[in-house]
Amino acid sequence: MLVMGMNLSSPKTEKFSEDGGNGRLRYGLSSMQGWRATMEDAGPHSDFSGPTCACTACVMQAYSLSRDHKPDLEAEKERILKACGFIHAGRVNGCLNLARAIGDVEFKQNKFFPVEKQIVTANPDINTVELCDDDDFLVLACDGISV
C-alpha cells in the first residue's frame, strides 16, 4: 500500500505570489506548501461551506464548474475497479482520497489501459459557462491544503 507524504510538525507557510495581465485580463496567484513534506494532493480540507471547485461569478452568483472526483462516485468507482484498483475507507487503493489527479503516477502504470481508464486519471471534465457582460472576475482555486 502506498503511504502519503510525511506530515510536518508545523506547516510550511511561506507563500509564493504573482500577478500580471494584459489589456483584457489581470490575474493573481498564490501557493503554499502546507503540512506535508512533499507536494501532493493528499485531500482537500476547508472550513469554507461554499463551492470549493473552480467557479465564476455573474452578478455575485457563484457557479460550480467542477466537482470533487471522489472514489465513491459511480463513474469513478467503475473506472477504478475495471483498472484493477480498489476502494477502502473512501480511498483509492486505501490511500488516495480522490480519483483524478495530474500526479500520482503510481496509480497510472497499467500498460493495458489508456490514460483515461487508469486507476487514477488526469482526464478532465469540461464544463462551459457563458460569461456575462457584468462579470468582473473569475476565481480558479484549489483547496489541496491538508491538516
Domain coordinates in residue numbering, the chain: 1-67+135-147, 68-124
Q: Global pTM?
A: 0.56
**C-alpha to C-alpha distance for 47 and 50, rounded to whole angstroms:** 9
Q: What is the mean pLDDT of the chain?
A: 76
Better-scored residue on pLDDT, 115 or 60? 115
At residue 47 the predicted structure's pLDDT band, cuts being 50, 70 and 90, is: very low
At residue 43 the predicted structure's pLDDT band, cuts being 50, 70 and 90, is: very low
Taking Cα atoms as reference points, which of 64, 70, 55 lies closest to residue 141?
55
For 107-142, what is each residue's pLDDT tens digit? 999 999 999 999 999 988 877 778 777 777 777 666
Average pLDDT (85-112) is: 92
Taking Cα atoms as reference points, which of 40, 46, 16 lies closest to residue 29?
16
